[in-house]
Amino acid sequence: MREARRRDVPLLISVGYSACHWCHVMAHESFEDHETAKLMNEHFVNVKVDREERPDVDAVYMSATQAMTHQGGWPMTVFATPEGHPFYCGTYFPRPSFQRLLGAVHQAWTGDREAVLKQGAKLVEALNTQTALPSGPLPTAETLDQAMRNLRETFDPVHGGFGGAPKFPPSMVLEFLLRSGEREMGGKTLDAMARGGIYDQLGGGFARYSVDAAWVVPHFEKMLYDNALLLRVYTHWWKAGGGPLARRVALETADWLLREMRTPEGGFASALDADSEGEEGRFYIWTPDELREVLGEQDGDWASVVFDVTGTFEHGTSVLRLLEDPPAMERLTSVRARLLAARERRVRPGRDDKVVASWNGLAIAALAEAGVVFERPDLVDAATACAVLLDDVHVRGGRLARTSRDGRPGPSAGVLEDYANVAEGMIALYGVTGDPRWFRLAGSLLDSVLDRFADGVGGFYDTADDAEPLFQRPQDPTDNATPSGQYAAAGALLAYAALTGSARHLEAAHAALGPVSVLAPGHARFAGWGLAVVRVALDGPVEVAVVGPPDDPRTRALHREALLADVPGLVVALGRGESGAGAAGRPGGLMPGPDGTLDWQGAALDEPALLEGRGLVGGAPAAYVCRGFTCRMPVTTPEELRAELAHR
């Protein structure tokens, strides 16, 4: 901005991301073209923004772009005053029209400056006077019923999912449906996505979205956040009776994360590009001849039928789909392995290897849960290594860096979704490992959420109170590709309150869910994570305290039984069950607050207060099933615990 003011020229802001196909196209066509670059450099100060590094910048200028053009997307092209006020917005421009646009904007800036400034001021004023969705009170059961009715109105009964093309994986809505016991819409969608072209039938993992309504033709980029969210959803589907398909897809997606997305430092990379060899999807598509070349004529022809290779794209190529399981599953396993090995010899898509805190938090939660459910300790180990990286590299002076690369933190401060999703991941990892380090880190991050992101009326801003000021402080309580930061915060606060008994965290969680009441009747698809959290909040999170020596097989059996339970939002605390266990070294404790309710006072808890007073039973490990710190009689066997959770 200083340079733009010094030169008295506008800012030209281009916002995109590494895996964005049309971002690469515009960069090659225009930014690398000498004539176009000359126009840009002569008349503008050019700013290239990675929306994944700076989601706050992306958010405010996307609001302007949508207000001005009634649509949005990437690359996003914004012309702004030296003060950062947008006055002309768009998305992708082919080089000839982009050159004309550069000339027109320069002419307007030099010849009719007053009109340009007036346009920018008017747009900024309109954006800043938009009314935020209200916070609190906690939505009711009727709100959830309204949401379910709205989802049924937009559900695609033929192909699953909601609405028409393009069709995105509705991960957050699926979580709500599973938590609500709604099997038709959720199961149909999960089955269709797993069998469609949006799912990589050879290597596992999901593409960003389907360009059609039937999940056939993917937009081939693969994003960490999609796959972390979907891994967790498919794991929950399996727990809810999703069967072998749910298990297979969950494990293949987890294996893909470890094989292709893990960084040397233990984190997970952001994305794989859609393009390779200059062609979108080239790495993933096949012709019948290519299948026969790899598999031989007999297996190749069989694979063409099983994977529906019928020439979906130009030149007779197809993405692989598995519309139904063949009778010969062993043959399928062999064919898939040989095709995957052959595909590994192709030129791979590029990888964006920056580690984004928020998305790694989602991955930690998903891998930790899947590791326990499917008895894969390597997945828990991967989740733990990722948590160590975030704690050691991203956490600095109690604050969270948005990104890191090669083990070094990036310059951008964490936003609300970073704090919330990392806290969520740490709570899930604590429940699986019992390591209080992760519980303590979650508490520290959530304290920052309450202290630095609160809007004063029950909601949360997307940026901290000391973040770099933009023309608007972003705040958006609607889901997008990832859960809304506000709803993610609500979910983590609710879980932390269930472990600690903190009224402060519980009240903040309830207030942050207020906008769900406005969105549910007509826009439930944009509040899926909020609806999922409301479902747990209304039921009251089920709390399980498992106590016993960590090396005792009976303790491990009770712990595993708790984690296997199909109980949405269940939180687990693990302790030794010794006298006074659960609050070692913790000053303060649960004490009456001004309104008479118990809340924790003093420094952050070292271990969950849920463990306080939960001792062994007859010298044996025990499990306590509770709600709001009110517990039923302890049990000492997995069978008894299963029965308690079934009648929660």
Please spell the DSSP secondary structure of 324-362, one letter per residue.
S--S-HHHHHHHHHHHHHHHTTSPPPPEE--EEHHHHHH
Tell which residue, 203, 625, 179, 567, has the closest CA to residue 373. Answer: 567
State the burial class of residue 391 (Cβ atoms within 10 Å of its Cβ: 0-12, 13-18, 19+): middle
Question: Is 315 a residue whose pLDDT tops 80?
Answer: no
Q: What is the pLDDT of residue 132?
A: 67
pLDDT digits (tens, 9 = 90+) for 619-639: 999 999 999 999 999 999 999
- Residue 125 banded pLDDT, cuts 50, 70, 90: confident
Among the candidates 492, 515, 539, a domain finishes at 539
Q: Give the C-alpha separation, 273 to 406, whole Å.
A: 19
- Same domain assignment for residues 518 and 579: no
Sequence-distant (6+) residues with CB within 8 A of 640 are none
Among the candidates 327, 345, 363, a domain finishes at 345
Instruction: Answer yes or no: are the C-beta atoms of 301 and 286 closer than 8 Å.
Output: no
Q: Give the C-alpha separation, 174 to 417, whole Å.
A: 20
DSSP 258: I
- Same domain assignment for residues 228 and 264: yes
- Same domain assignment for residues 525 and 571: no
Q: What is the CATH number of the domain that holds 45?
A: 3.40.30.10
User: Is the residue at 461 inside a domain?
Assistant: yes
- Residue 21 banded pLDDT, cuts 50, 70, 90: confident
- Same domain assignment for residues 558 and 446: no
Question: Is 437 a residue whose pLDDT tops 50?
Answer: yes
- Same domain assignment for residues 269 and 290: no
Average pLDDT, integer, range 346-373:
97
Q: What is the pLDDT of residue 433?
A: 96
Q: What is the pLDDT of residue 278?
A: 85
Q: Into how many domains does the chain fold?
A: 4
The residue to which tokens 């938090």 are assigned: 361
- Same domain assignment for residues 54 and 166: no
- Same domain assignment for residues 528 and 403: yes
Question: Is 52 a residue whose pLDDT tops 80?
Answer: yes
Question: Is 316 a residue whose pLDDT tops 90?
Answer: no
Q: What is the pLDDT of residue 393?
A: 98
- Same domain assignment for residues 185 and 202: yes
Q: What is the CATH number of the domain that holds 484?
A: 1.50.10.10
- CA max distance for the chain: 87
User: Is the residue at 524 inside a domain?
Assistant: yes
Question: Is 250 a residue whose pLDDT tops 80?
Answer: yes
User: Percent of the chain, pLDDT > 70?
Assistant: 95
- Residue 285 banded pLDDT, cuts 50, 70, 90: very high
User: Is the residue at 316 inside a domain?
Assistant: yes
User: Is the residue at 279 inside a domain?
Assistant: no
Q: What is the pLDDT of residue 603?
A: 39
Q: What is the pLDDT of residue 515?
A: 95
The residue to which tokens 């960003």 are assigned: 208
Q: What is the pLDDT of residue 541?
A: 94
- Residue 131 banded pLDDT, cuts 50, 70, 90: low
Q: What is the pLDDT of residue 174?
A: 98
User: Is the residue at 458 inside a domain?
Assistant: yes
- Same domain assignment for residues 339 and 357: no
Whole-number average pLDDT of the chain: 92
User: Percent of the chain, pLDDT > 90?
Assistant: 85
- Same domain assignment for residues 391 and 261: yes
The single-letter code of the amino acid at 78 is V
User: Is the residue at 48 inside a domain?
Assistant: yes
- Same domain assignment for residues 535 and 546: no
- Residue 398 banded pLDDT, cuts 50, 70, 90: confident
Q: Label each residue of 153-208 as H, E or C.
A: HHECCCCCCECCCCECCCHHHHHHHHHCCCHHHHHHHHHHHHHCCCECCCCCCECC
- Helices 329-343 and 288-295: angle between axes, nearest 10 degrees: 100
Q: What is the pLDDT of residue 71?
A: 87
Stated pTM of the model: 0.92
User: Is the residue at 140 inside a domain?
Assistant: no
More confident residue, 601 or 406: 406
Question: Is 581 a residue whose pLDDT tops 50?
Answer: no
Average pLDDT, integer, range 572-590:
55
- Same domain assignment for residues 457 and 579: no
For 78, the domain range is 2-128
Average pLDDT, integer, range 202-221:
96
Question: Is 54 a residue whose pLDDT tops 60?
Answer: yes
Among the candidates 539, 566, 595, a domain finishes at 539
Q: What is the pLDDT of residue 255?
A: 98
Q: Give the C-alpha separation, 588 to 2, whole Å.
A: 49
User: Is the residue at 135 inside a domain?
Assistant: no
Return left, alpha or beta for 236; rule: phi > 0 is left, psi -120 to 50 is alpha, else beta.
alpha
Q: How far is CA 247 from CA 36, 76, 250, 381, in A?
A: 51, 39, 5, 19
Q: What is the pLDDT of residue 20?
A: 86
- Residue 601 banded pLDDT, cuts 50, 70, 90: very low
Q: What is the pLDDT of residue 122?
A: 87
